[in-house]
Structure formats: C-alpha cells, structure tokens
C-alpha cells in the first residue's frame, strides 16, 4: 500500500491506497492560522507534525493488520511558506504562509535588484512567494535572519522530521523565486540577491522520485519498516493534478479550496509573468504547468456563513431557490478578502459587496459570493488564454467541488465543460499517494488514471449574456476601487 500526506492550510489530510489505486482509508486533522497583525498569516510547524502523527495513529487503527504493507509515502504541501531553521534544525520563528502579504515592499525591491527574475524564475515577485518573505525577515527581524541555517517549505519540514533529510522537489521549489524553472535547479544569482546560498537550500529531486527513507526512530514509532521510501512529493496544486490525472499537455483542473486555482499542464516552460500567471515545474520530469491563482475562493463562502450565522449547506439551498431575475439583480462581490494574485498582484485589494438594497437578503449575498469567485477564475482563464494557453475542459476539485450548483455556475461563467470526480475532495492526498507508488517504479499510465467521472456540467447558453454583462461590471468595479486607492 501507499500513503499520501497532504499538508494544507486549514487541515492535514492523509490517505492510503492499495496496489490497484483504490482508497483503503483516509483521515484529516484541522489546523488553525495565526494572524497577529494585519497582512500576517503564520502557523507553528510543530502543529503540522503533531497533526501528522495523529493521522498516522488514526490510519494505523483503520488499516489494522494491513498497515505493514505500506511501501512508500508521498507528500503534498501548501506552497511558498518559509520555515526557518537554525544550525540545530530548531524552528527560529513561526512559518510565514503563502497567504501572508506583509512583504509587498520587498517584492518591489527584489524586482529592482534582480532584473533577471522574470526570465529565471518565470514569475512576478508577489507577497505570497518565499523569497520576498526572507527579505522582510532580513530587514525587520535581523536577529532571526542571522541564525538561518536552512530554509524549508512546509511539506519538507515534515520530511525532515520523518527522515532526517533536507530535500525538496522541483514543483514546490519553483514557488520560492529561487529556482531556475527551465533548468530545474537553484539559481545562485537569485539566492545571492537575498543574501542566501545554495548551502541553505534543501537538495532537489523530482516529485516522483525517491527522496529518502524513514528514520529508524520514526519507523518504529509509526509501526512501519525503515525501508519505507518517501517520494519527492510536490506543491499542493501539482500533486492534486496527479490526483485527477492531469499529466498530459492541455489537461486542466480548477481547485476550489481556501484559494482558487486554474491549473493547466504544459510540455514546455511557458512563463507569462506580465499577467501574474504562475509558471512552475510539474511533479513529473520534463513537464511544467501554468496556474492562475486567487487568494480567497471557497473561504469567501465560509466567511459569509460565519457573518450571517448559517451553514454552507443551508445557504446553498437558499441560493438554489433564487429566480433568474433575483440573480440578475444580486449585488456584485469582489472576492479579495486576502488581496489578490492573478491577474492583479494587489495585496491591498479588498473584498466588497456592491449594489445592495433593502430587498437584498442572505440568499442573494450567497449567490454574489459564488458568482464573484467564479468571476475571479474567469479573470484567470482570460489571462491564460492571452498567453496562448487553450483549455476545453476542466476537472473540479476541492471543497467547492461538492456543490453541483457552483459547478454549473462555473461552467456557465467560464463557458467550459466542468467535470467532477468521485473522491475529488481528496485530490492532494490521493496525488501524494500516487507519487509514492510512482517512486516505486509503477507505470505512469497505470497510476495516473483520471478518477471516475461523477458528473459533467455543460455551459448553459441562456445565461451567457447576463453573466457576461455582470462580469464586465465586476471588472470595472475593481478598476474603480483601484483608481480610488491610487
């Protein structure tokens, strides 16, 4: 059997599959985010490790006598987080997460000091990326910067605890702004701009290769053999791509989780930084991918539900009862609760409802949120298309994939065929388990089959005109707000 561990922002998931790729057991454990100041988002790496050990115990109980059949482990993780370790591998400060936007000024400084950045790293300097976070630490916490012996990404901190080895993969490392994405190697030039060196970086392997084996201590603690291999793993979206079988050029999916991602596979390196499109390595050799990323997606719906005191299921039921006239007259919603990446690269962008009246009720606010997130993804599709990338169909994964209503709205908004899969909510953990099996030399075509289709949503042409009109007003609303802030 093969174990996949997916270190997310809101939870850690773990999943076990057998030789046929069938899920044997799955479990999850919640995580919390600390926001001690505006724009800050942090977590304690020790909490990740404690959650992982809890999951191992839970899965070990579920798998019973079959637990010892696990041959390899794969890792998936939230990208861009900065885990800073000293010479004794102790954590220096809480990890700065991907949705932390404190380092906007440092992004501008990095762009100015490294004019080769776009060519080498393939991406704009954005506050979510790792490199500007380190510039911020150097400037504001010099006592911490001086102690840094190693910088790790979140999932690679778990690997260190599991194996004692400091290793990362190409896909996750591409999100640091220190990787030469075309060459799939650290860039000494970009590291030097941040006063760091290759010696402070982990070794690199492909995501589907063996990175290390479990340490004797952890193997004994987990009830596994020390010969159990740990695959390179990858950033959460690239690993989710493995989970939905997105491995060939043109394969695409949308992830509706805390953030929103539109992901498409490329067989060559195709950067488009001018549109804030991400160009990263895939977890497979000689493959890359592009992504548009919005920082708040399904989390916008959770935010609204907390405010109005209703569950997501209840609110979605109310939204489904709205008439076409009520939807056409609903407020517009900008989903920028944490700033935005693609296409705006604007950490100061704010969320808003526009166009409320006395007749506005929570159902129309709920619809506005679903539509606003869909429009944010439409922004991403637009700039991907402008870069020359063509998409005909998208799989839908993440928590938002559980809503048939939202899936149909995405099909109508994007004018794309949207496909949901059975078990789609475990995309990252499933992908990690699949990488574990690939690391044991199982064939790619056999391992990375697309999961069984649950439902296909085709665009409803009768809604196209109304949605296009509202989308153009959505775009103008952001531009008007930007003009007021400048």
Question: Residue 398's pLDDT band (boundaries 50, 70, 90)?
Answer: confident
In order of 41, 194, 456, the CA distances from 37 in angstroms are: 8, 24, 43
CATH fold for domain 2-237: Nucleotidyltransferase; domain 5 (3.30.420)
pTM of the model: 0.87
Contacts of 41 (CB under 8 A, 6+ apart): 33, 34, 35, 96, 97, 98, 99, 100, 101, 338
Q: Give the pLDDT of residue 176.
A: 98
Nearest one of 443, 436, 20 to 209, comparing CA atoms: 436
Which residues are tagged catalytic? Answer: 236
The domain limits of the chain are 2-237
Q: Taking Cα atoms as reference points, which of 398, 420, 107, 98 lies closest to residue 255?
A: 398
For residue 29, count other CB atoms closer than 10 A to its CB.
17
DSSP state of 451: P
| DSSP element (H, E) containing 419 | strand 417-421
Share of the chain above pLDDT 90, in %: 85
Residues of the binding site for substrate: 79-80
At 152, the pLDDT band (50, 70, 90 cuts) reads: very high
Known binding-site positions: 79-80
The pLDDT assigned to 426 comes to 58
**Confidence check: pLDDT of 334 > 70:** yes
Q: Is the pLDDT of residue 227 over 90?
A: yes
Q: Would you state the pLDDT for residue 309?
A: 96
Half-sphere exposure of residue 411, counting CA atoms within 13 Å on the CB side?
A: 22
In this prediction, residues 358-385 reach a mean pLDDT of 96
Distances (CA, A) of 375 to 150, 210, 362, 450: 40, 40, 20, 27
């Amino acid at each position: 059997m093969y174990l996949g561990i997916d270190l997310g922002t809101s939870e850690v998931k773990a999943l076990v599959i057998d030789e046929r790729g069938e899920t044997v057991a799955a479990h999850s454990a919640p995580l919390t985010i600390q926001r001690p100041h505006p724009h800050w988002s942090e977590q304690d790496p020790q909490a990740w490790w404690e959650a992982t050990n809890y999951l191992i115990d839970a899965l070990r109980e579920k798998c019973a006598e079959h637990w010892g059949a696990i041959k390899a482990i794969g890792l998936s993780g939230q990208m861009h987080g900065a885990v800073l370790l000293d010479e004794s591998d102790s954590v220096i400060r809480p990890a700065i997460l991907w949705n932390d936007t404190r380092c906007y000024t440092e992004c501008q400084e990095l762009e100015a000091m490294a004019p080769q950045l776009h060519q080498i790293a393939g991406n704009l300097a954005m506050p979510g990326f790792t490199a500007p976070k380190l510039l911020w630490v150097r400037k504001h916490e010099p006592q911490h910067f001086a102690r840094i012996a190693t910088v790790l990404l979140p999932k690679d901190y778990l690997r260190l605890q599991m194996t004692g080895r400091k290793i990362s993969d190409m896909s996750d490392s591409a999100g640091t702004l220190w990787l030469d994405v075309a060459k799939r190697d650290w860039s000494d030039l970009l590291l030097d701009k941040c006063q760091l060196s290759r010696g402070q970086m982990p070794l690199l392997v492909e995501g589907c290769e063996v990175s290390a084996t479990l340490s004797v201590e952890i193997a004994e603690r987990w009830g596994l053999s020390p010969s159990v291999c740990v695959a390179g793993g990858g950033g959460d979206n690239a690993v989710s791509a493995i989970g939905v079988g997105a491995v060939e050029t043109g394969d695409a999916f949308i992830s509706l989780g805390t953030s929103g991602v539109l992901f498409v596979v490329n067989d060559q390196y195709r950067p488009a930084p001018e549109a804030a499109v991400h160009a990263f390595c895939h977890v497979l050799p000689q493959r890359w991918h592009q992504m548009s990323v919005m920082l708040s997606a399904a989390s916008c719906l959770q935010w609204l539900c907390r405010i109005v005191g209703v569950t997501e299921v209840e609110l979605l039921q109310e939204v489904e009862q709205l008439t076409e006239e009520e939807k056409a007259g609903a407020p517009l919603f900008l989903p920028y609760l944490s700033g935005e990446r693609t296409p705006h690269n604007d950490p100061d962008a704010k969320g808003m409802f526009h166009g409320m009246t006395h007749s506005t009720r929570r159902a129309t606010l709920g619809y506005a949120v679903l539509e606003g997130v869909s429009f944010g993804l439409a922004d991403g599709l637009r700039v991907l298309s402008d870069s020359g990338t063509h998409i005909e169909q998208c799989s839908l994964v993440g928590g938002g994939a559980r809503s048939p209503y939202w899936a149909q709205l995405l099909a109508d908004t994007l004018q794309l065929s949207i496909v949901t899969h059975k078990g789609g909510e475990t995309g990252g953990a499933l992908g990690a388990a699949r990488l574990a099996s690939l690391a044991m030399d199982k064939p790619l075509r056999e391992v990375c089959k697309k999961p069984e289709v649950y439902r296909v949503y085709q665009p409803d042409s009768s809604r196209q005109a109304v949605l296009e009109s509202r989308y153009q007003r959505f775009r103008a609303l952001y531009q008007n707000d930007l003009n007021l802030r400048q």
